[in-house]
Amino acid sequence: MSLTSAHSVVAPSAVSKRVAGTIIVLYALISIVPLLWIFATSFKTPPDSIAYPPKILFQPSLEGYCNLFSTRTRQTPEYINALGPATGVCDETVRKRNMVIAGPSNFMPRFVNSLIIAFGSTFCAVFLGTLSAYGFSRFKVPLADDLLFFILSTRMMPPIAVAIPIYLMYRELGLSDTALGMILLYTAVNVSLAVWLLKGFIDEIPREYEEAAMIDGYTRLQAFWRTVLPQATTGIAATAIFCLIFAWNEYAFAALLTSGTAQTAPPFIPTIIGEGGQDWPAVAAGTTIFLVPILVFTILLRKQLLRGITFGAVRK
Amino acid sequence: MAEIRVEHLRKAFGDFIAVQDSNFVVGDGEFFVMLGPSGCGKTTTLRMIAGLELPTGGKILLGGEDVTMRRARERDIAFVFQLFALYPHMNVRKNIGFPLLAQGMPGIEIRRRVEETAKLLRIDHLLNKSVSGLAGGDRQRVALGRAIVRRPKCFLMDEPLGTLDTEFRDLMIHELRELHNRIHATTVYVTHDQMEAMSMADKIAVMNHGVIEQFGTPREIYDRPATMFVADFIGSPPMNFLGFGGGLSKGASEIVVQGAKVAVPEVREDIAPADMALGIRPEHIRFDDGSKLRGAIYGTEYLGTTQIVAVETSGGIIKARVPAEIRLNPGDQVGLALSSTRLSLFEKGSGRAVRTAIHDTVIHHGASQGRAHRG
């Protein structure tokens, strides 16, 4: 696959390359500032975080992370002095604010919920999407075009329009505030995207590969597993990232349908603000940690993602 | 290895009839070529034999066994695709061994068989290479290796040389035929290239619009085309046709074309008056000033040992293949003498060849004569 030859007839000049490069760097800088600000805030103390003018240089502190992972109770200085020596960095940090650690916060369980629900629904959406895309791509499905349009149409209505019916249905079915309910919901939303994206990828894989495998003694499922799937990895990776990003970031339904055991991180993070003043460093710490999985996943799959995004545009 | 027998095979896609009433037998160890223009149904026929497409009607027998409705993997055949279909995520060794893996053969045995096959095809030095880096001819050899490694009942090949450039193609034609002579595998080969068909085939079926127009050896198909389509499709340049009218009666050996009497092979059947055509291969024309059949030189193509001369007659342009030494100028008047024993006669309406003395020595092709006529 040659990227350069397919892109343009005329090779870009040094000047246009430099202009394009400058624009890209500028845009990247503008985009990254809020992220850097959140990252910096997560290492500030609460007074530093609301200081005016804002502090660019500051003494880094783990207070935000300590507050994120713990619940604390206020005590009298006498009580704190009577305690033994501090058991760790966090213990020491909170004692300076006349508080003691009472126990772990809900952040970890919420974060784990997010992981289970996002990865679970991504897996389901990609699994179902791959199989249906293969079906649409290879078999004469009656009314295939109408079915594909129907699948796409499930994304057309704004989610908020169906929020109340879903809320009522979930309450009746006992799916409110359950990980299963959230996985089903996100799978349903993502599967349409997965079918459409993957059908494009699978259409591009010549059917001769499976036919060759089937003649060579494999069943269709074996042929699919051994010849189609390995060649569709690019598309599957790209689709998985899109699905994961949606499920990971989804806020509205999570806020509506989860409140306790199955609550995900997005609706949980804003609740930190309320606990004992506006604790911006803790919120920033939560946000920073929340960004990590997507970052790691994207970095791991960046090759496939890049190839996946340019797939239709560049012919082999 | 096994015989392939196709009986009344039919395939329709909706209203479109891709193959109608196909009948032929490919003998054990024969190299059989299906030849025809694109869309004539040859690939569909091949895919039905493979089990990739189910027929609308008719029967397919492999080695005497009815496999018409069997799945592809239960037929024990090998298929070489036009685009080779080499798995890009496997190296050459894994590609060739892939069919053996399906049979659950132990690894050591697979290794031995793959290496043996690679040696046969002279690609043993490529075994650990990735298939994406291979040249066209080597890809073709790997695809062949994947086909022969399993020692199947027969080979099916769908225009396997179609994507190769001329240089590789000539080499592979030679190699394919040589390979066939060594392993004697029953082979069905589909192509639209008459040169490939003529140089490799034991038997050829010429197809058009889903119908087998003629089934026979390359020599029969060239020398006594069963229909005008076959006469026109085979040969470069193709057979010339000169129209004439009136009927023919048994025993006649002379016709009148453009006012000139032409001796033809003795007619073996009575034909009611209709539009007829006389078919003449370009190499069966000589220039003879004594001939009543005349025309003017229109143009020449010099080919080294011979030249193709286009002659404008009152019945249209006729192409003759004559020795290269003859000097000709456009506009020259020439007389055309035809080799009376090599001419074909056709009924224009049906395109069917009239039975004449050239059909006297009949060559049998097993049970099925397979000479389907359109009508």
The answer to whether residue A12 sits within a structural domain is: yes
B2 in Cβ contact with B156 (< 8 Å): no
Query: What does each C-alpha distance from B247 to A157, B255, B343 come to in angstroms?
Result: 76, 10, 17
In angstroms, the CA A188 to CA B325 distance is: 80
Q: Nearest Cα to A179, choosing from A274, A113, A133?
A: A113
Q: Are residues A156 and A251 in the same domain?
A: yes
In angstroms, the CA B185 to CA B349 distance is: 40
B85 inside 8 A of chain A by CB? yes
Query: Residues of CATH 3.40.50.300 domain(s) within chain B?
Result: 4-223
Q: Are residues A178 and A53 in the same domain?
A: no
A186 in Cβ contact with A266 (< 8 Å): no
Q: Are residues A93 and A130 in the same domain?
A: no
What is the pLDDT, as a whole number, of residue B283? Answer: 94
**Which residues of chain A does B50 touch, with a Cβ-Cβ cutoff of 8 Å?**
211, 215
Domain count, chain A: 3
In angstroms, the CA A34 to CA B117 distance is: 62
B211 Cα to chain A: minimum distance (Å): 26
Sign of dihedral through CA atoms B257, B262, B263, B265?
negative
Q: Are residues A129 and A278 in the same domain?
A: yes
Q: Verify whether the Cβ–Cβ distance A212 to B79 is below 8 Å.
A: yes
Q: What is the pLDDT confidence band of residue B370, given thresholds at 50, 70 and 90?
A: very low
Burial code (b: 16+ CB inside 10 Å, e: under 16) for A190-203 equals bbbbbbbbbbebbe
Q: Are residues A277 and A302 in the same domain?
A: yes
Q: Verify whether the Cβ–Cβ distance A212 to B85 is below 8 Å.
A: yes
Average pLDDT, chain B: 88
Q: Verify whether the Cβ–Cβ distance A217 to B51 is below 8 Å.
A: no
A230 Cα to chain B: minimum distance (Å): 7
What is the pLDDT, as a whole number, of residue A275? Answer: 56
B21 in Cβ contact with B372 (< 8 Å): yes
Q: Are residues A214 and A291 in the same domain?
A: yes
The answer to whether residue A245 sits within a structural domain is: yes
Q: Residue B366 above 70 pLDDT?
A: no
B13 inside 8 A of chain A by CB? no
β-bridge partners, B22: B9
The answer to whether residue A139 sits within a structural domain is: yes
What is the pLDDT, as a whole number, of residue A308? Answer: 59
pTM of the model: 0.78
B208 Cα to chain A: minimum distance (Å): 25
B239 in Cβ contact with B344 (< 8 Å): yes
**Which residues of chain A does B78 touch, with a Cβ-Cβ cutoff of 8 Å?**
215-216
> Chain A: residue nearest B143 by CA?
A212
What is the pLDDT, as a whole number, of residue B369? Answer: 40
The answer to whether residue A314 sits within a structural domain is: no
B367: its two tokens:
């049970």
Q: Are residues A94 and A235 in the same domain?
A: no
β-bridge partners, A117: none
Which of A204, A207, A215 would you mutate first to test chain B, the one with the most B CBs within 10 A?
A215
In angstroms, the CA B372 to CA B359 distance is: 16
> Chain B: residue nearest A217 by CA?
B73
What is the pLDDT, as a whole number, of residue B24? Answer: 92
Q: Verify whether the Cβ–Cβ distance A214 to B83 is below 8 Å.
A: no
B99 inside 8 A of chain A by CB? yes
> Chain A: residue nearest B73 by CA?
A217
Amino acid occupying residue B46: L
B210 Cα to chain A: minimum distance (Å): 23
SS3 assignment for A220-242: HHHHHHHHHHHHHHHHHHHHHHH
Q: Residue B345 above 90 pLDDT?
A: yes
In angstroms, the CA B135 to CA B139 distance is: 6
Q: Nearest Cα to A127, choosing from A183, A205, A166, A206?
A: A183
Q: Residue B372 above 60 pLDDT?
A: no
Q: Verify whether the Cβ–Cβ distance B81 to A211 is below 8 Å.
A: yes
CATH topology of domain B228-359: OB fold (Dihydrolipoamide Acetyltransferase, E2P) (2.40.50)
**Which residues of chain B does A218 touch, with a Cβ-Cβ cutoff of 8 Å?**
73, 102
Q: Are residues A55 and A13 in the same domain?
A: no
Q: What is the DSSP string of A199-224?
A: HHHHHTS-THHHHHHHHTT--HHHHI
The answer to whether residue A27 sits within a structural domain is: yes
A217 in Cβ contact with A172 (< 8 Å): no
What is the pLDDT, as a whole number, of residue A274? Answer: 66
The answer to whether residue A148 sits within a structural domain is: yes
In this complex, the residue of A206, A213, A231 whose CB is nearest that of residue B83 is A206
**Which residues of chain B does A217 touch, with a Cβ-Cβ cutoff of 8 Å?**
73, 99, 102-103, 150
Query: Residues of CATH 2.40.50.140 domain(s) within chain B?
Result: 228-359
B252 inside 8 A of chain A by CB? no
Q: Verify whether the Cβ–Cβ distance A216 to B78 is below 8 Å.
A: yes
pLDDT digits (tens, 9 = 90+) for B134-164: 887 888 889 989 998 988 889 999 998 887 7
Q: CB within 8 A of A58, min separation 6: which ones?
A: A40, A43, A44, A45, A48
pLDDT digits (tens, 9 = 90+) for B304-317: 899 999 999 988 89
Domain residues for the domain of A293 are: 108-309
Query: What does each C-alpha distance from B289 to B294, B323, B339, B343 come to in angstroms?
Result: 8, 16, 15, 20
Q: Give the homologous superfamily in CATH for domain B4-223.
A: P-loop containing nucleotide triphosphate hydrolases (3.40.50.300)
Q: Are residues A37 and A113 in the same domain?
A: no
Q: Are residues A254 and A284 in the same domain?
A: yes
What is the pLDDT, as a whole number, of residue A309? Answer: 58
ipTM of this complex: 0.80
Go through chain B and tell me how many residues it has.
375
The answer to whether residue A97 sits within a structural domain is: yes
What is the pLDDT, as a whole number, of residue A310? Answer: 56
Q: Are residues A179 and A295 in the same domain?
A: yes
Q: What is chain A's pLDDT, residue by residue, as a tens digit (316 residues)?
A: 444 444 556 777 888 899 999 999 999 999 999 999 999 999 998 888 888 888 888 889 998 999 899 888 888 888 888 888 888 888 888 888 888 888 898 999 999 999 999 999 999 999 999 999 999 999 988 998 999 999 988 888 888 888 899 999 999 999 999 999 999 999 999 999 999 999 998 998 888 899 999 998 899 999 999 999 988 888 898 899 889 999 999 998 999 998 888 999 999 988 888 656 788 999 999 999 999 998 898 888 887 777 655 554 433 3
Q: Verify whether the Cβ–Cβ distance A214 to B52 is below 8 Å.
A: yes
Q: Are residues A75 and A12 in the same domain?
A: no
